[in-house]
Structure 1
Amino acid sequence: MSYRPPAQVASDIDGYLRAREGKDLLRFITCGSVDDGKSTLIGRLLYDSRQIFVDQLERLEADSRRVGTQGSEIDFALLVDGLAAEREQGITIDVAYRFFATEGRKFIVADTPGHEQYTRNMVTGASTADLAVILVDARKGVLTQTRRHAYLTHLLGVRRMVLAVNKMDLVGYDQGVFDAIVGEFAAFAERIGAGETVAIPISGFRGDNVAARSEAMAWYAGPTLIEHLETVPVDADAAAGRPFRMPVQWVNRPDQSFRGFSGLVTDGTVRPGDAVRVLPSGRTSSVQRIVTFDGDLPQAEAGRSVTLTLKDEVDCSRGDVIAAAAAPPEVADQFEATIVWMADEPLLPGRGYWLKLGTQTVTAQVQAPKYRVDVDTLEHLAAKTLELNGIGVANVATDRPIVFEPYADSRDLGGFVLIDKETNATVGAGLLHFALRRAKNVHAYTLDVTRESRAELKNQRPLVLWFTGLSGAGKSTIANLVEKKLRRMNRHTFLLDGDNVRHGLCRDLGFTDADRVENIRRVGEVARLMTDAGLIVITAFISPFRAEREMVRALMAPGEFVEVFVDTPLAEAERRDVKGLYRKARSGELRNFTGIDSPYEPPVEPELRIDTTRVTPDEAAEMVVRLVVGE
């Protein structure tokens, strides 16, 4: 290689970038089953479009020799399988994004995992794609994972697909094999309502019909893969033709003289003077300026990040959406949605998860699924929960109204993720269908007699004393003593006991994790209503999960939830075992028993911790009463 001065290199790079200005961009995803050749195909695309520098090619040739590729052949998958774990395992386990360009178009391609375990990564890649290249190994044909990826890409709004029947060289370039695979896939695509699908026989390893037409498959008269990618229409103008939308990411206020709202314009066009509506509040104003680092703009289109200043002082913060006043999106707090579950632990209906939609983050509860989808048969099957990679339809309720549009109309305001509050792990992805009618027709009624006036009448502060601990810890015993002591002090109380509630309010629930979540959700709602009546509510429930105890805490006003951890070691609780429950659990007669085959998550920072191995029940009750009366 000859030496080139830095100035010449910079000039070449500048020319390279200028040559690509003005070209439209196609985002596409490659997906398929394990070892169908996705990474090899992307490597071949980069190689054939001359997107590999000399030093990369030299390293690639060396790596190919090291991993055992025969002769002078190159293992193109090594261009993409950048993670060490991928090279060791021989599979892709993350989403790898690559940029390349041809004479006709720019591309961003996402190489997504093929193994079912990593469906979550595939969903990530498909969520922003315009087209999906679904690979099928010609030797294996259409597999369950092929159908799963086709269903998911269609579900996620990808309207154009390429069926790339790969490794045709390993089946002797047999047209009959290709036709059979195309026929089977076309039948499935028709059943899911998939749009345009183009089938191309290829060999990613040898380059047949990737960039150059294959002489070995003269029977194929269609385009090569790159020809199709260069010419397929891109719906670039779809977002620009929709009403204006900008989710607010940041309130920009460097000093008292400037207040702007920063975000990405997701849809439409905005100009100074345009009438806008801030949601969910519904307040209206007009755009005063469109501010950027390089100066004010006369207009901003979809895909542009800007700061808007408004003519009026309106309440607007992160998570709000600034939209066209005449055509705003909807606002609701209950929806029907498709859920793709991505966690090893199953969905717990009724549990509070963080729901993140655009710049909005709220607490959401997913109800038991209406059904789950069998991706092989497309049947709607009964389900009480969703397991890893499960797909189902369920109702979702948020703790406050959010701004949304159906996913079919807007990926930005219709797609969301669910996040576990304890681990901060993303556990699910969702697509909103529509708001439930009750979300629009049921409204809170303002009462003249307030909760404050009820509490004042009783001369006390409403509270929830939430006793939690293992079975046999002494919760009910201590709670009963606390109520008797408070009654003698003329306090107005009500005791909700776990066993008693199971005979009425929650008699339909069992003891699975999902049932335990629903049990605590119901009790929490009842306890909140009782505090509205001005009562001191005493509850005695195992309530094994932190998330549900925190959910109840969030229902209450600050300072009105007092968590009392009755901390009794398992061995001591089992020794007491007055009901014989531990004995039955140990023998296998009693399933899902907390502490034995179902977990208990102790409080991290309870308001009061009681060690029953050190104090008597009466002493423990006195500790609680002193906490209540403030002595």
Structure 2
Amino acid sequence: MTAYTPDTLIASDIDAYLETHAHKSMLRFITCGSVDDGKSTLIGRLLYDSKTIFEDQLAALEADSKRVGTQGQNIDFALLVDGLAAEREQGITIDVAYRFFSTDKRKFIVADTPGHEQYTRNMVTGASTADLAVILIDARKGVLTQTRRHSYLAHLVGIREIVLAVNKMDLVGHDQAVFDAIVEDYRAFATSIGIARFTAIPLSGLTGENVAEPAATMPWYAGPPLLSHLETVAIDADARHAKAFRLPVQWVNRPDLDFRGFAGMIASGIVRPGDAVRIVPSGKTTTVARIVAMDGDRAEAVAGESVTLVLADEVDCSRGDVIAAADAPPQAADQFLATIVWMSDTALVPGRGYMLKLGTQVVGATVQSPRHVVDVNTQAELSAKTLTLNDIGVAEVYTDRAIVFEPYADGADLGGFILIDRATNATVAAGMLQFSLRRAQNVHWQSIDITRQAHALQKGQPPKVLWFTGLSGSGKSTIANLVEKKLYALGRHSFLLDGDNIRHGLNKDLGFTDTDRVENIRRVAEVARLMVDAGLIVLTAFISPFRAERQMVRDLLPPGEFVEIFVDTPLEVAESRDVKGLYAKARTGEIANFTGISSPYEAPETPDIRVDTRRESPEAAAERIVEHIMGVWSHDL
């Protein structure tokens, strides 16, 4: 068979080239380890030695290498991978860089992941789709903390093929004793975290020794060079095919009235027309009528392929549902124990509402205080009240509705999730579901004949939550009290929940830490929702300093029922009022976690109503709020 490389390929060879490479197996792997262990250089050398660099790329690389002043080498191979300007300036990897290359035996996608602890979150991203991890160790430094951390994370996300690449052997005189000591040190650690096997290779990414060809400088090593190992290592490609069929629905394909299909990528198993399937979580069963792909109808589809399934019956199925083998469906639950890797500079706030994305499902979720965090050096389980950047912890996760899942050990597609901050839309954590918590299995929602609509009609008003937020001393309670008096005079049915009053009873067990503030608002939100269900107009006067919690309350209610009223009073004005003397005590440290002084207040960015207390009296503000609400009511009615 003719070997083709991009720099020698001509137009007449294209068909043969594509045929040659179309049916090769694909290996996805990552390089990871500590800072300056040579990850980017090793990948650059692999690309160079596998002849997958175009001539213009090679010329640019040589020019860049001269510009940055590569010591003793014509080419700085790391520049092939370190694409960000900051990476080239600092000589480090920051982002995850993906590269494709191919040999006569196999195709590869390699992810170069950063070694700095600050960017561990990016390493997790690269590892999440990899089949194999190349853990690099600088032969001069041995096993370091970040080596352990990356090994732990690679094993945690399910990578079972590990290559221990002891790099820079040329800088230790190709000494076998150095290599053997590092391997034994790593073996002791690997065994402690459950890594059953690994392949150790001594090499030099800079000189190419034992990268693509055996190194004459290390005759004591009898194993294959790295590239040969990557070409021949067994990939359990059939494992996902042997599992029960799963297709998370990504899109309902309805181009016309005659066609209705459910599109997505098959997560596991094999499907054929006529197979019995179950829609989860609804539990409805049917059979597969057709399998439609880009090339037409198919007689079979397997894991990893994107297809559209046409079902024999008109069943309710939408994005986020999972079409599964009827006799072996996945589970559905709303409470879990999970391992969480925290990836944000902002710490976890237990009880705060986040968005959880698992496959094609997106739901609201809260995370409780972790049961423990893991010390990656000793595997000790340490107590903790929260999770901070790069922490690995085990915690309970609650979702606002049941989601379809499988334990991560059974499959990443329905077992791996991310957490998203509601306010910033940033990904703050990656997690792996261990199992469902069954404490709520016997708790069901009771059907009630008198509905929330019936309560609203009886009172002749659309229910609302008027949520007053602002600094202490801004005038929230004063204005909310005036608004309720006006509503009462108009014959409306309302109830005012005041922050101080609630803390005398329902929330008297809570303090003023960020976590307690979140729980304070969560409880009030649930009470307000019950009152709205009763058809009431609910007024709340709480500092409620965090946007995420105010958004959580809005999300609990139907659209239009939450009205955010920002009582906008500058800190210096609120502090000058200080009728309770709270700001003075906060300034002297007598009161901790006081909003505006030692705890932040996140002002609403787009409130429904804004009250500027410097330009508007409480009476005028209350009148304007009532006029606004009455106008909305007349439209709703």
TM-score by length of 1: 0.94
Displacement after TM superposition at 1:71 (Å): 4.4
CA contact (8 A) 2:341 2:391 kept: yes
Aligned to 2:580, what secondary structure does the other structure show?
coil
Aligned to 2:539, what secondary structure does the other structure show?
strand
CA distance in 1, matches of 2:265, 2:188: 40
The answer for the alignment partner of 2:240 in structure 1 is 239
CA contact (8 A) 1:160 1:195 kept: no
The answer for the alignment partner of 1:430 in structure 2 is 431
Mind listing any 5+ residue stretches in structure 2 that lack a counterpart?
Answer: 1-6
Distance 1:63 1:604, change over 3 A: closer
Residues 333-369 of structure 1, C-alpha deviations (whole Å, 9 max, x = no match): 2211111111111112222222111111122112221
The 4+ residue runs of structure 1 with deviation greater than 6 A are none
CA distance in 1, matches of 2:218, 2:597: 63
Task: Please tell me the residue identity of whatever aligns with 1:598.
Answer: S
Task: Please tell me the residue identity of whatever aligns with 1:310.
Answer: L
CA contact (8 A) 1:144 1:376 kept: yes
The answer for the alignment partner of 1:3 in structure 2 is none
The answer for the alignment partner of 2:475 in structure 1 is 474
CA distance in 2, matches of 1:591, 1:360: 40
Displacement after TM superposition at 1:488 (Å): 4.7
CA distance in 1, matches of 2:104, 2:612: 74
Displacement after TM superposition at 1:398 (Å): 1.6
CA distance in 2, matches of 1:56, 1:457: 75
Displacement after TM superposition at 1:487 (Å): 4.1
CA distance in 1, matches of 2:213, 2:9: 32
Task: Please tell me the residue identity of whatever aligns with 1:355.
Answer: L
The answer for the alignment partner of 2:281 in structure 1 is 280
Task: Please tell me the residue identity of whatever aligns with 1:609.
Answer: R
Task: Please tell me the residue identity of whatever aligns with 1:20.
Answer: H
The answer for the alignment partner of 2:302 in structure 1 is 301
CA distance in 2, matches of 1:561, 1:66: 59
Task: Please tell me the residue identity of whatever aligns with 2:282.
Answer: S
The answer for the alignment partner of 2:501 in structure 1 is 500
Distance 1:222 1:517, change over 3 A: same
The answer for the alignment partner of 1:376 in structure 2 is 377
Residues 52-77 of structure 1, C-alpha deviations (whole Å, 9 max, x = no match): 23333333223222222244542211
Identity %: 71
The answer for the alignment partner of 1:609 in structure 2 is 610
The answer for the alignment partner of 1:37 in structure 2 is 38
474-483 or 247-256, larger mean C-alpha shift: 474-483
CA contact (8 A) 2:532 2:538 kept: yes
The answer for the alignment partner of 1:595 in structure 2 is 596
Mind listing any 5+ residue stretches in structure 1 that lack a counterpart?
Answer: 1-5
Residues 309-341 of structure 1, C-alpha deviations (whole Å, 9 max, x = no match): 111112222222111111111111221111111
Residues 482-516 of structure 1, C-alpha deviations (whole Å, 9 max, x = no match): 33444455544333221222233323333232222
224-233 or 464-473, larger mean C-alpha shift: 224-233
CA distance in 2, matches of 1:8, 1:497: 75
CA distance in 2, matches of 1:424, 1:179: 47
Task: Please tell me the residue identity of whatever aligns with 1:43.
Answer: G
Aligned to 1:401, what secondary structure does the other structure show?
strand
Aligned to 1:387, what secondary structure does the other structure show?
coil
The answer for the alignment partner of 1:184 in structure 2 is 185
272-281 or 24-33, larger mean C-alpha shift: 272-281
Aligned to 1:615, what secondary structure does the other structure show?
coil
Aligned to 1:412, what secondary structure does the other structure show?
coil
Displacement after TM superposition at 1:114 (Å): 0.8
Distance 1:143 1:7, change over 3 A: closer
CA contact (8 A) 2:422 2:551 kept: no
41-50 or 144-153, larger mean C-alpha shift: 41-50
CA distance in 2, matches of 1:345, 1:460: 42
Q: How many residues align?
A: 626
Task: Please tell me the residue identity of whatever aligns with 1:163.
Answer: L
Is residue 354 of structure 2 the alignment partner of residue 353 of structure 1? yes
Task: Please tell me the residue identity of whatever aligns with 1:52.
Answer: I
Residues 188-223 of structure 1, C-alpha deviations (whole Å, 9 max, x = no match): 111111232111111111122212222222222222
CA distance in 2, matches of 1:508, 1:166: 56
Residues 561-619 of structure 1, C-alpha deviations (whole Å, 9 max, x = no match): 22222122222111101122222333344333222332222223333322222333333
Equivalent runs, 1:99-118 vs 2, <5 Å: 99-118=100-119
CA distance in 2, matches of 1:379, 1:221: 37
Distance 1:222 1:327, change over 3 A: same
Aligned to 2:274, what secondary structure does the other structure show?
coil
Is residue 203 of structure 2 the alignment partner of residue 202 of structure 1? yes
CA contact (8 A) 1:351 1:366 kept: yes
CA distance in 2, matches of 1:567, 1:69: 58
Equivalent runs, 1:396-411 vs 2, <5 Å: 396-411=397-412
Equivalent runs, 1:164-563 vs 2, <5 Å: 164-563=165-564
CA contact (8 A) 2:201 2:225 kept: yes
Task: Please tell me the residue identity of whatever aligns with 2:359.
Answer: G
Displacement after TM superposition at 1:433 (Å): 1.1
CA distance in 2, matches of 1:624, 1:21: 67
Aligned to 1:223, what secondary structure does the other structure show?
coil
The answer for the alignment partner of 2:152 in structure 1 is 151
TM-score by length of 2: 0.94
Is residue 567 of structure 2 the alignment partner of residue 566 of structure 1? yes
CA distance in 1, matches of 2:188, 2:421: 38
Residues 119-144 of structure 1, C-alpha deviations (whole Å, 9 max, x = no match): 11111110111111000111111111
Query: How large is the RMSD of aligned CA atoms in angstroms?
Result: 2.1
